[in-house]
Structure 1
Amino acid sequence: MSRTSLVRWQLLVLAVLTLLVGLRACQRRAEAPHAITLFADMAPGMLYHKVLHVEQPVRLRWKGIGAWRRTASGPEPVAYGWVLRRSDRQVVWQMQPRDVDDPPRFRVQDTLRLAPGVYDVFFTTQGNVSQPNGFWSWLFPKASWMRGYRDWGLWAEVLDGPASLRLEEGSPAAPAGPALLWTAAPMASASSRMALLEVRRPTRLLVYAVGELQAQPADYGWIERLPDGERLWEMRRENTQPAGGWEGNRMARDTVEFMPGVYRAWFQTDAAHAFGNWRFNPPFDVAAWGLTLWRLHPEDTSVVLLDPWVSRRPLLMLAPVGNAENRQVEFSARDTTEVLLYAVGELGTRNRRYDYAWLTDSLGTTLWKMERARSVPAGGHPNNRLEVAALRLPPGRYVLHYQTDDSHAYEDWRNGRPEHPERWGVTLFPLRPGRDTLIVHAASTSAPSVAPPSPPVQTTGALLVDLTRVRNNEHREQAFTLTQPTRLRIRAVGELSLSGQYDYGWIEQAGTGEVVWEMTWQHTKPAGGDGRNRMADTLLTLPAGTYIAHFRTDFSHAYGQFEYPEPHEPEAWGLRIERIDQ
């Protein structure tokens, strides 16, 4: 090709490009005054969002291109957009596959009039079927509906002259409004939130919940009356309806009646498919994932959020607690008493406890103990947890305990400090104000972990021997004297197998060394956790005389250093003897 021909071809190509650019510019100029591009150039596996502010009534023509797939029930949209009115959380428009002649793509064109207000505009490309991701995802073919994703988009055109519209970036807003009482939304994966409600007069609340329900509840909530835990309302498949998007998304909008009393509202999520971590197409009301409570009238004061630190006077307090402490306080209830236990501590996953509280009765039976599954974040590090327990205590004697390990406690935060560091510990409040029927007897702090043999204890009280919280490589013993034949309750937790005794206890007669009771596999039952964790709970009558109780541990798996799953009552590791006959 000659130099002259090459120049001519170049001029021709340049002229064609100039013409195309000019046509595109003319098209943009024709659309510019009243056209809005909301979403374009999108990718699969995403959720897109913008906020539309409408300052005066406007009529819009909506145009969209999305994707669908065939199902047994008909065409199902998998990439599409919708508009949510923020004031009442209602969907005012959504893309539906009507034109399905060009699979997997579909087009929509609708006219919609919007009143003044704020609207959340979404476009999802997540799909409703799990897609492979990660390094090896390139080995798997993409779903057919993802073809043509470069065409996906959503546009709006103003039809009735200039309008006061403003489009901006921003995060979806949680439920709000003047009548809002409380919301847990939006909730991320593997989280829990709760609120205490005090109802002073009969009233009704609007309960709004968005979550995940399949064969088993995954992300759901309930409202329970305290202290009995009876559920007044619960999110179930039967009282919910589709929430848009994936079939597991469900929503409930109920009006619930409340009688005077104290209630707990609770919502929890599992480790998948929640706000900010959508595995499939999200619900229409994305930011309402969780539980929301509204008063029917903003001025209604018959129900308020209950903060015991504001509206109650503490009856007992073991807080704040520093590192390596073991505190306890003994108290009595004169009458049946309803209490709130407010505990802040360090609880890890897999039921690992580092700093925690528990309550026992006069015989050492654990009535309550902090559990991560019943707690909510306390601020700071994820292991900082808050649990509020409501109990009905019959008349009797009780011991409230709190224990910390050697790191991350009050005034020595190794990780993020909690929101209220001064509450690190446990505090007991009355469930209802003015109901104080408790008598505090004594409080104590931690003792050395390796205790010397104790002197004989006369049988003037119920507790004769306390050889609990025994650590590795210890041999503890305590003598006690009975002045007459006495019926005893022996409780022991240790490590046994069919072939050996590792951490175990026994009782021998002083002077002769005769063993009158011994902890064996045959006379114990599982204590929870590892299969070698065993518990004995025995009634035994001994004649008058002096006896020595022993508990011995080997070099591994004991209180404070469980190498395998710990028992249900780790603080009971050891031996305890109570007198039954008074």
Structure 2
Amino acid sequence: MFWEKVMRVIVLLFLIHILSLLLFAQGTRELEITNIPIDELQLTGFTLRSEKAVSIKAVGGGEKVENEEYRSFMADPNNMFAFAWILNAKSRELVWRMSLNNTRSDKKSSFIRVFDDKIKIPAGEYEVYYSARIPDYTFFDDGFFSFGKLFNKLFKNKEWYEENREDWYIRIQNVDEVIDRETILKFHKALRNQAAVALTDLHDSEFRQEGFNLTKTGTFSVYALGESYRGETFDYGWIVNASTSEKIWETMPEKAEYAGGAQKNSLWRENITLPPGSYWVYFVMDDSHSPDAWNANPPYDALFYGITLTGIAGKFDPKSIEPLLKQKVQPIVEMIRLGDDEFLQEGFKLSAPMQIRIYAIGEGRKGEMFDYGWIVDLETNEKIWEMTYNRTRSAGGADKNRLVDEVITLAAGSYMVYFVTDDSHSFDNWNQAPPYNPVNWGITIYPADPKFNKDNIQKLQEDALAENIIAQIIRVSEGRIYQERFELKRDTEIRVYAIGEGDWDEMYDYGWIESADRGNKEWEMIYEKTRWAGGAKKNRKIDQIVHLPAGKYILFYNTDDSHSFNDWNADPPDDPYHYGITVYSVESD
């Protein structure tokens, strides 16, 4: 099986070489694309045996936008909606394109743009593309509203557009050979087969994953095209170490180059060196703008939209790579398929430090999360991780679908995982487009290392939470006074940990300790000594060491008529499981 794959790679390399020699071998010296359809990318190509000047005549469509303020991420900075361009077939680099700057207008229509000139091109193989879309109008001229443009849009759109479309074409003369679309597509297929991973031919709302094992250090070219704008990515990819789930590379928006076409089309091109190991490559699409149906001008290299990882000749051994098969890893915690107004929790205990992978999908917008999860250390009762908006990225579908996929290290100890959802947009009850992986709405935690020791992980049972507890009143309901008695055989230092509700120097849900014999109050949860408990500002907590003499005591907790465990009227605290009061023994050194 392995050597068969090696032979296939060798054969593919040979085919690519032959294709490059035969590329465009149909004997004509003039290339032409006419009868341009709408929203259907046209493709042909040519070869030059030596550097020469070729003659290009092309007619397309465009309109200058004078005021940049009225641009959008859908707009093409070159102000064209029907245009041609040329790519170098091997480097995938842009060689030439039509723009407003290198074309002239035509008397027939203000929207027609004409290119008629010669350009010098080095020897090589080239691909020629033509794209045409119904233009996205602006009703402004030099920054002012134009009734004339509005009139043309409402009453003349079809007439001028149909007439102009008949004039669109590109003709290139003085080329050595010409090739048709089908031969170029075979060449593309050979390039993909040569790659370690090629996630292309993508569709709206699609999620793709492919992996490989690498036995020797190798250097790879990462070539990715996606969608990003102003710091956010919508169609994007990333590479992770399959053994540790560490993210090796990703399509960071700040590293993106303009990929041609609409402003949102983004290109990432980088060489990376990978040590021996196993790797996963991912790519996710949102619900629009894909090779199926571009909703704006496509990128220049539209047929390679997605991510391609190719070994660099001389820095990579083709025999060192083989496919990586998916392995099912039992999750430590899995709270998924969550509906509206849910609040779930699940605990686990680690007997040794461990790296864990957190995979969560929720709802968020403009820096705020509405469906999200977090983790609390049950020894310190502190929140150690939270699904904040700046940790997330697009999960596909509606923009508010957010995804986090990261690895953290936890010390040995006990942990509680929480996830909360609001009253809308949840599994099987979406009010906008769902994410690409809707069944995982919620949070899942896995061991990051597939070779983890199962004996180091335990599900946390109720009795495991009772270590060192003297008395406890938690997960309290509304409008009640709770009490629990306890006795200290000797003078003792205790730890009091309480979470409640308070505002404006007053507590509404709070606890205290009374002496059972004397009836006097020995300790009370007062607002001035509390601090914010996470979630709504009125959530308050106290964690205090108190010295009590030997004797009998009563632990009390009072709640008002709102905002209690699993019946919150605002965001819950970080540690909702312990809403109430707990008294712990303090072990001496």
Global fold match (TM > 0.5): yes
Question: Residues 106 and 403 of structure 1: is their aligned pair in 2 closer, same or farther, counting only changes over 3 Å?
Answer: closer
CA distance in 1, matches of 2:148, 2:544: 64
Structure-to-structure mapping, 1:212-223, within 5 angstroms: 216=231
CA distance in 1, matches of 2:200, 2:583: 46
CA distance in 2, matches of 1:482, 1:529: 35
Aligned residue identity for 2:351:
A
Aligned-pair CA distance for 1:361: 3.8
CA distance in 2, matches of 1:511, 1:367: 41
Aligned-pair CA distance for 1:121: 3.5
CA distance in 2, matches of 1:357, 1:565: 13
* More divergent stretch after superposition (522-531 vs 419-428): 419-428
Give the secondary-structure state (helix, strand or coil) at the position aligned to 1:351.
strand
Question: Is the 2:489–2:550 Cα contact (8 Å) retained in structure 1?
Answer: yes
Aligned-pair CA distance for 1:78: 0.2
**Aligned pair partner of 1:258 in 274, 287, 293:** 274
Give the secondary-structure state (helix, strand or coil) at the position aligned to 1:522.
helix
Question: Is the 2:57–2:172 Cα contact (8 Å) retained in structure 1?
Answer: no
Structure-to-structure mapping, 1:129-528, within 5 angstroms: 131=138, 142=149, 151=164, 154-156=168-170, 165=180, 177-178=192-193, 179-181=195-197, 183=199, 201-210=216-225, 216=231, 235=252, 237=254, 239-245=255-261, 250-259=266-275, 283-286=299-302, 293-296=309-312, 299=318, 307=326, 309=328, 312=329, 314=330, 316=332, 328-334=346-352, 336-341=353-358, 350-353=368-371, 358=375, 360-369=377-386, 388-394=405-411, 396-401=412-417, 429-436=446-453, 438-440=455-457, 443-444=460-461, 461-498=467-504, 500-528=506-534
Question: Is the 1:175–1:292 Cα contact (8 Å) retained in structure 2?
Answer: no
- Unpaired runs of 5+ residues, structure 1, are 1-32, 43-47, 446-456
Question: Residues 400 and 517 of structure 1: is their aligned pair in 2 closer, same or farther, counting only changes over 3 Å?
Answer: same
Q: Does 1:98 align with 2:107?
A: no
Aligned-pair CA distance for 1:273: 9.2
CA distance in 2, matches of 1:558, 1:287: 55
Question: Residues 214 and 374 of structure 1: is their aligned pair in 2 closer, same or farther, counting only changes over 3 Å?
Answer: closer
C-alpha RMSD of the superposition: 6.1
Question: Is the 1:318–1:402 Cα contact (8 Å) retained in structure 2?
Answer: no
CA distance in 2, matches of 1:273, 1:141: 31
Question: Is the 2:286–2:396 Cα contact (8 Å) retained in structure 1?
Answer: no
Question: Is the 1:81–1:124 Cα contact (8 Å) retained in structure 2?
Answer: no
CA distance in 1, matches of 2:417, 2:273: 38
Aligned residue identity for 1:154:
W
CA distance in 1, matches of 2:152, 2:563: 55
Question: Is the 2:496–2:581 Cα contact (8 Å) retained in structure 1?
Answer: yes
Q: Does 1:538 align with 2:535?
A: no
- Report the counterpart of residue 63 of structure 1 in structure 2: 58
Question: Is the 2:505–2:528 Cα contact (8 Å) retained in structure 1?
Answer: no
**Equivalences, count:** 512
Give the secondary-structure state (helix, strand or coil) at the position aligned to 2:570.
coil
TM-score, reference length from structure 1: 0.63
Aligned-pair CA distance for 1:523: 1.7
CA distance in 1, matches of 2:139, 2:478: 48
CA distance in 2, matches of 1:413, 1:541: 53
Q: Does 1:39 align with 2:36?
A: yes
**Aligned pair partner of 2:563 in 551, 557, 567:** 557
Deviations 1:200-247 (A, max 9, x none): 65333322344677775566776677969687667364x554322456
Question: Is the 1:359–1:367 Cα contact (8 Å) retained in structure 2?
Answer: yes
TM-score, reference length from structure 2: 0.63
CA distance in 1, matches of 2:516, 2:226: 64
Between structures 1 and 2, the one with greater helix share: 2
Aligned-pair CA distance for 1:507: 3.1
Question: Is the 2:197–2:211 Cα contact (8 Å) retained in structure 1?
Answer: no
Aligned-pair CA distance for 1:253: 0.6
Give the secondary-structure state (helix, strand or coil) at the position aligned to 1:49.
coil
Question: Residues 572 and 361 of structure 1: is their aligned pair in 2 closer, same or farther, counting only changes over 3 Å?
Answer: closer
Deviations 1:284-328 (A, max 9, x none): 34576665544546946558668452xx5x374657899989664
Aligned residue identity for 1:331:
K
Question: Is the 1:84–1:285 Cα contact (8 Å) retained in structure 2?
Answer: no
CA distance in 2, matches of 1:218, 1:272: 13
Question: Is the 1:496–1:532 Cα contact (8 Å) retained in structure 2?
Answer: yes
Question: Is the 2:55–2:172 Cα contact (8 Å) retained in structure 1?
Answer: yes
Question: Residues 108 and 425 of structure 1: is their aligned pair in 2 closer, same or farther, counting only changes over 3 Å?
Answer: closer
CA distance in 2, matches of 1:479, 1:241: 67
Question: Is the 2:77–2:262 Cα contact (8 Å) retained in structure 1?
Answer: no
Question: Is the 1:347–1:372 Cα contact (8 Å) retained in structure 2?
Answer: no
CA distance in 2, matches of 1:175, 1:492: 65
Question: Residues 105 and 519 of structure 1: is their aligned pair in 2 closer, same or farther, counting only changes over 3 Å?
Answer: farther
Question: Is the 2:192–2:198 Cα contact (8 Å) retained in structure 1?
Answer: no
Question: Residues 269 and 258 of structure 1: is their aligned pair in 2 closer, same or farther, counting only changes over 3 Å?
Answer: same
Question: Is the 1:105–1:145 Cα contact (8 Å) retained in structure 2?
Answer: no
- Unpaired runs of 5+ residues, structure 2, are 1-29, 49-53, 69-75
Aligned residue identity for 1:123:
A
Question: Is the 1:203–1:303 Cα contact (8 Å) retained in structure 2?
Answer: no
**Aligned pair partner of 2:132 in 104, 123, 137:** 123
**Aligned pair partner of 1:81 in 68, 71, 83:** 83
Deviations 1:462-500 (A, max 9, x none): 344554443444544444443344444433333211153
Percent identity between the aligned chains?
Answer: 22
Aligned-pair CA distance for 1:262: 7.5
Q: Does 1:49 align with 2:44?
A: no
CA distance in 1, matches of 2:522, 2:198: 60
